[in-house]
Amino acid sequence: MINETEAERVTDVMIVLDTDVTFYEPSEAELFERGVRAAASVTSLLLKQGNRVGVILQGHERGIIPPKFGKKHERNVLFLLAAAKPGPAAIPTSYVVTLLARLMLPSKAQVILISPLLDPSIVEGMRELAVSGYSTMILSPSPPEPPRFESEAEDLAYRMIMLERSNTLLALEKICTVTQWPIGIPLSTILSKVRRTRPMVLA
């Protein structure tokens, strides 16, 4: 008799949380919290499915947890996310994504970027990952429109930021799957749609 065993398919996934939400001060805290919630939920989901998951915290504060399994590992990720704070990044997100992902992940691994996409340089970083053979995906909490503006200049600045973000989205959609998370929509609804459209990433 010959016993043959086959290992379950395991994927290494690196979640990159972009905490640079420098946008419109009254809305920054809410936008940041949504990003943290998304990172925690996606981490838990992927770990339950048996994947190795790591996290890169990118922004004013930085942190790295290499991909691993288990409940203890999940707690470490949640502790890192709980200690995160919003603020402008000293190092461009595109640089962090391409350098650290390549150092910590094997080829053909998966990178999930959670970001409001307020930094247009992200496009080049995701393009480099895709060219290098990584499976890439973006989950983007959409910045809410402020209820009012203090001046016409502030209103104009907001419109310009949103126009630049729209251009960034268009460029990224040519490279990878981009899923927006509008305010007021449950995250579970967004993730269920992602699972249906990209089972290789979250199912």
pLDDT by position in tens, the chain (length 203) = 444 443 445 688 999 999 888 766 667 788 899 999 999 999 999 999 899 999 988 877 788 899 999 999 999 999 999 988 887 777 777 777 777 667 777 767 889 999 999 888 899 889 888 888 888 899 999 888 777 777 888 888 888 888 999 999 999 999 999 999 998 889 888 888 765 444 344 43
Q: Contact at 8 Å (CB) between 194 and 110? A: no
161 within some domain: yes
Return d(Cα 4, Cα 68) in angstroms, integer. 26
156 within some domain: yes
Domain that holds residue 118: 12-192
Segments in 49-186 forming alpha helices (H): 71-82, 93-104, 122-131, 152-173
3-state secondary structure of 36: helix
197 within some domain: no
Q: How many other C-beta atoms can be found within 10 angstroms of the C-beta atom of residue 86?
A: 19
Return d(Cα 203, Cα 194) in angstroms, integer. 9
Note the Cα 147 to chain centre separation in Å. Answer: 26
CATH assignment at residue 147:
3.40.50.410
82 within some domain: yes
Return d(Cα 41, Cα 43) in angstroms, integer. 5
Q: How many domains does the chain have?
A: 1
pTM metric for this prediction = 0.84
198 within some domain: no
23 within some domain: yes
What is the β-pairing status of strands 12-18 and 135-141? unpaired
83 within some domain: yes
Q: Contact at 8 Å (CB) between 8 and 76? A: no
4 within some domain: no
CA angle 61, 62, 65 (to 5 degrees): 140
